[in-house]
Amino acid sequence: MDLEAYLSAGAKGGLLPWSVQLSAARNFDLPLSVVEERAILAGLLPARYQRNRESISINEQFILCRSRVAIIGCGGLGGYLIEELARLGVGTLVGVDPDVFEEHNLNRQLLSQIDALGEPKVQCASRRVMAINPAVRFEARPERLGPENGLALLEGCQVAVDALDGVSSRRALKDACAAIGIPMVHGAIAGWYGQIATEFPGDGILEALYAHATEEKGSEKQLGNPSFTPAVIASLEAAEVCKLLLGKGQALRHMMLAVNLLDMSFERIKL
């Protein structure tokens, strides 16, 4: 019996139970990610994605499965992004962050927990992805993205997501994305406030947003970051990534969404 016949025999109503996906990987000595790809290609949707179906077709699920996305920064925004993109079924996630978890991360960073203080953020991210969707490949890069390693970190990615916490690293990410010709989904937070935008190479959005920036940090120095702001902004970024990968909907291009959770206002600003 070949893999596809084995998967078909174990499927129920076009859905592939996790137990069958797992046994197929074992019996055919294949990574779970490969079993997932072959199943979707054969028209069998892993059962975990059945609630995706009304929003994301099986063909689109296949596109997500074949996609590679870099998440630059695995802290406040990055933790939620990794969680959501892994649950969505993006095939390969590259997590980039040189830091370890510290106590002051616990108020908002999804992947931080008391028994992981001192551990590299990318290591915790890798463990989380394994726990929630082991069919997703997670590549942990405990590095700071800069001009010297940007291209290597983004190689093969269709989209990069900005979950960074400084101006110069955002500029380096924008340059690396432009050099390899992929879009970048920008997000930033401070206190009750956040902003997101999607930049295609040459759009100049990042230059505009940080045009006057002379310092590395912004208002978050005074305002801090409560638990809900990164969750909101990261979720908006994840939706933007999903649309970019699938080529559907309307991207936040040539504009910025200014989010104010204190006034509960969402304003689109043309740039």
Partner 1 sequence: MLITVKLFANFRVGRFVVEVRDYPAGTAIKAVSGSLGLASQEIGMTMLNGRHAEPERVLKDGDVLAFFPLLGGG
Binding site for partner 1 (CB under 8 A): 73, 75-78, 162-167, 170, 187-195, 208-220, 222-223, 225, 230, 258, 260, 262-263, 267, 269-271
Tokens representing residue 227 in the block: 């638990």
Nearer to partner 1, 7 or 196 (CB): 196
Query: Cα separation of 61 and 237, whole Å?
Result: 18
Nearer to partner 1, 123 or 195 (CB): 195
Residue 247 beta carbon to partner 1: minimum distance, rounded to whole angstroms: 27
First to last CA, the chain: 57
Residue 73 beta carbon to partner 1: minimum distance, rounded to whole angstroms: 5
Chain-centroid distance of CA 173 in Å reads 15
Q: What is the largest distance, in Å, between two alpha-carbon atoms of the chain?
A: 64
Residue 61 beta carbon to partner 1: minimum distance, rounded to whole angstroms: 29
Tell me the residue ranges of DSSP E strands in 78-218: 92-96, 137-141, 159-162, 184-190, 193-199
Nearer to partner 1, 131 or 211 (CB): 211
Tell me the residue ranges of DSSP E strands in 136-192: 137-141, 159-162, 184-190
Nearer to partner 1, 58 or 213 (CB): 213
Query: Cα separation of 162 and 71, whole Å?
Result: 7
Residue 82 beta carbon to partner 1: minimum distance, rounded to whole angstroms: 13
Residue 11 beta carbon to partner 1: minimum distance, rounded to whole angstroms: 41
The answer for residues whose C-beta is within 8 angstroms of residue 177's C-beta and 6 or more apart is 154, 160, 183, 184, 199, 201
Chain-centroid distance of CA 169 in Å reads 17
Residue 172 beta carbon to partner 1: minimum distance, rounded to whole angstroms: 14
Nearer to partner 1, 23 or 235 (CB): 235
Query: Cα separation of 69 and 266, whole Å?
Result: 26
Nearer to partner 1, 36 or 162 (CB): 162
